Amino acid sequence: MLYLDIESTEPVKLVGARSPVAKSAKLVVVDPPGSHSPQQVVREIAIPANQPKRLAYLGSHVRLVDIARDVVPGMRVPIELDFVDANGTRRTLATEADVRGVAVPPPATADAGTPPKQR
């Protein structure tokens, strides 16, 4: 998940993102922001003119999917963000993100409903 503060002097739409550390990235809207709010993958996120737009934990965000290489806290990873303005002009912004934490999914088990065997 990427946390971003985006500011623009004109209204634009965030329409894509990518990083070499992930196989893909998704734009996710959480409305209203909160831990139990529904999340929806969308094609674009509107960025208003002259008004900061925060993409962050418990709110709308960019989700990196299928991390393809090891990342550790403190590492900086390259990110490219794609924007489209009102005229349809596409712009790409290259930046870096600091890795602050890594969530590792629990290992898959053959039968998740069966308790582990006692030794």
- Domains of the chain, with CATH numbers? 4-98 (2.60.40.1890)
Q: What is the mean pLDDT of the chain?
A: 87
Q: How many helices (H) and strands (E) does the chain have?
A: 0, 9
The contacts of residue 56 (CB under 8 Å, 6+ apart) are 3, 4
The contacts of residue 40 (CB under 8 Å, 6+ apart) are 28, 29, 30, 31
- Between CA 9 and CA 38, with CA 18 as vertex, the angle to 5 degrees is 80
Could you tell me which of 113, 11, 21 has the C-alpha nearest to residue 67? 21
pLDDT tens, position by position, for the chain (119 residues)?
Answer: 778 899 999 999 999 999 999 999 999 999 888 888 899 999 999 999 999 999 988 899 999 999 988 888 888 999 999 999 999 999 999 999 888 776 665 566 555 555 555 54
Contact 60, 30 (CB under 8 A): yes
Could you tell me which of 49, 77, 48, 44 has the C-alpha nearest to residue 62? 44
pLDDT in tens, 48-68: 999 999 998 889 999 999 998
Contact 7, 54 (CB under 8 A): no
Burial of 62 (0-12, 13-18, 19+ CB in 10 A): buried
- pLDDT of 3: 82
